[in-house]
């Protein structure tokens, strides 16, 4: 079954063009032309992916991204005219999975949609179905995480990073290795975005994000997931 894609943008010509390209690829496409319409559509029926312009009337794209991510792990691709690294990182920190800077080719958007959907549907290769690390429980097959028996809402990228790290306790990964394993070889974002996603992940799963218990920084190298004896030694 083809994915249901919601395109959110106030330029109707651009939305119609993107709809045409995506429908040619077999996707079912819906459209919203302001932020409030987008939130209404997501509430009515969660799409398989959201293509989200940041410059929107009524409710801006960053607020839409924040609201959607608070209730759903649906993949989000941002469209932005802002090209600075900091502007991109703000959107990624809110939970977007990818971004395109205007102007862009519709074919490039289709390729990004295909890649994000493929990554969001990938299954873990080397992990046990359920991993338990102290009060943290990770169900790899269901893409669910619990901390002290309470569900934790992670973005797709946060979950993929956690999956790679938790499946290999004690192993140190560089940023590039995490990008390669969690996001795929076709990912062309910034290595620094790994720091952004892991910072957000820590806020959600660590009892004290300033003194992490699970996701540890190995200075000058990268990150690792703490082994049980590492956590015991830190107490």
- Domain end call among 120, 140, 170: 120
Q: Are residues 141 and 98 in the same domain?
A: no
Q: Are residues 174 and 150 in the same domain?
A: yes
Q: Please give the average pLDDT of every successive group of 10 residues along the chain, which has 235 residues.
A: 85 92 90 94 90 90 88 87 68 81 90 85 54 87 87 89 88 86 65 86 92 92 84 57
Output the pLDDT for position 133.
86
Q: Are residues 227 and 147 in the same domain?
A: yes
Count: domains in the chain:
2
Domain of 211? Answer: 130-234
DSSP state of 221: T
Cα 120 from Cα 75, distance rounded (Å): 7
Q: Are residues 142 and 50 in the same domain?
A: no
Q: Are residues 91 and 150 in the same domain?
A: no
Q: What is the CATH number of the domain that holds 91?
A: 3.40.50.2300
Q: Is omega for the bond preceding 103 within 30 degrees of 0, making it cis? A: yes
pTM for this entry = 0.59
Cα 21 from Cα 176, distance rounded (Å): 32
Cα 17 from Cα 19, distance rounded (Å): 5
Structure tokens at 130: 């359920």
Output the pLDDT for position 234.
54
- Domain end call among 86, 120, 154: 120
- Domain end call among 61, 90, 120: 120
Output the pLDDT for position 189.
59
Q: What is the CATH number of the domain that holds 206?
A: 1.10.10.10
């Amino acid at each position: 079954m083809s994915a249901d894609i919601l395109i959110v943008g106030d330029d109707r010509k651009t939305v119609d063009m993107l709809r045409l390209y995506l429908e040619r690829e077999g996707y079912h496409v819906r459209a919203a032309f302001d932020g409030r319409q987008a939130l209404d559509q997501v509430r009515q029926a969660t799409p398989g992916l959201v293509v989200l312009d940041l410059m929107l009337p009524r409710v801006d794209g960053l607020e839409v991204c924040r609201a959607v991510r608070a209730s759903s792990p649906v993949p989000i691709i941002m469209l932005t005219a802002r090209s600075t690294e900091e502007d991109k990182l703000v959107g990624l920190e809110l939970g977007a999975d990818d971004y395109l800077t205007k102007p862009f080719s519709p074919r490039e958007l289709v390729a990004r949609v295909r890649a994000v959907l493929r990554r969001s549907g990938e299954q873990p290769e080397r992990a046990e179905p359920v991993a338990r690390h102290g009060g943290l429980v990770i169900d790899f097959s269901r893409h669910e995480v619990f901390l002290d028996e309470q569900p934790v809402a992670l973005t797709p990228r946060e979950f993929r990073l956690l999956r790679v790290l938790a499946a290999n306790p004690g192993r140190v990964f560089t940023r590039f290795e995490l990008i390669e394993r969690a996001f795929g070889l076709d990912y062309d974002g910034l290595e620094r975005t790994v720091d952004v996603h892991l910072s957000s992940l820590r806020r959600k799963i660590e009892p004290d994000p300033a003194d992490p218990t699970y996701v540890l920084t190995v200075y000058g190298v990268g990150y690792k997931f703490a082994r049980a004896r590492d956590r015991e030694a830190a107490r």
